[in-house]
Amino acid sequence: MSRKFDPKNLDVLLSTQRAKTLDALRVISLVPIRPYHVIADIGCGPGYFSVPLGKSVFDGKVYAVDVQQEMLDATKQELEKVRLTNVEPVLSPEESIPLDDDSLDGAFSAFVVHEADDPKGMLKETLRCLRRGGWLALLEWHKRKMDEGPPVKERIDEAKLRDMAMAVGFRFTSRHGLNQNQYMLLMRK
């Protein structure tokens, strides 16, 4: 698990500096989300996107999924601060997502694919959990040198990520530049 984000640094993920370059509400506005959707925030970390996703699906549900208990504990704290009850933290093994087949309307995965031991396997598991027509939002770092983010060698090139998702069965729908360092691909089952 050496490539996983270190929970000791989770304050970086909730910082006001991050919010300046990556506005969670703006990102979510680019996703085909509906108030009644059931969504998984895969690799939720400390809940940076789980909280606004939960607010967006006020008649639905969010599963905040992570492989690190420390991250889920931080997510629970964020949820308690805003008294959000439609987000359920879920501890997940690396190789499988503990959700039923065809149980999700959408999945959100921010800066996680590059950390996965088996990125293709993670995408296959996500596909399994999505209903037909379900959406997947993949956020990642551009594969180039910059002052922030993971080492360049760990990043996934945008075209490679798109091809990898399509190879497991997703259909590409659109891409968005989130800022100068990060991008989002939208896929459908």
Q: What is the DSSP letter of 2?
A: T
Confidence class for position 13, pLDDT limits 50, 70, 90: low
pLDDT at 9 over 80: no
Q: What mean pLDDT is reported for the chain?
A: 93
pLDDT at 7 over 90: no
Sheet holding 130-141, edge to edge: 87-91, 61-66, 38-42, 104-110, 130-141, 182-188, 171-177
User: 1 in a domain, yes or no?
Assistant: no
CATH number at residue 98: 3.40.50.150
How far is CA 45 from its chain centroid? 9
pTM of the model: 0.92
Domain that holds residue 46: 7-188
Q: What is the pLDDT of residues 130-167, one digit of tens each?
A: 999 999 999 999 999 998 888 999 999 999 999 999 99
Give the total number of structural domains in the chain: 1
Q: What is the pLDDT of residues 24-37, one digit of tens each?
A: 999 999 999 999 99
User: 58 in a domain, yes or no?
Assistant: yes
User: 125 in a domain, yes or no?
Assistant: yes
Q: What is the pLDDT of residues 38-47, one digit of tens each?
A: 999 999 999 9
**Comparing 13-22, 57-66, 164-173, 176-185, which segment has the lowest mean pLDDT?**
13-22
User: 2 in a domain, yes or no?
Assistant: no
Confidence class for position 1, pLDDT limits 50, 70, 90: very low
User: 144 in a domain, yes or no?
Assistant: yes
Return the axis-axis angle of helices 158-167 and 119-129, rounded to nearest 10°: 50
pLDDT mean over 84-96: 96
Confidence class for position 172, pLDDT limits 50, 70, 90: very high
User: 81 in a domain, yes or no?
Assistant: yes
Q: How far apart are CA 14 and CA 129, in angstroms?
A: 28
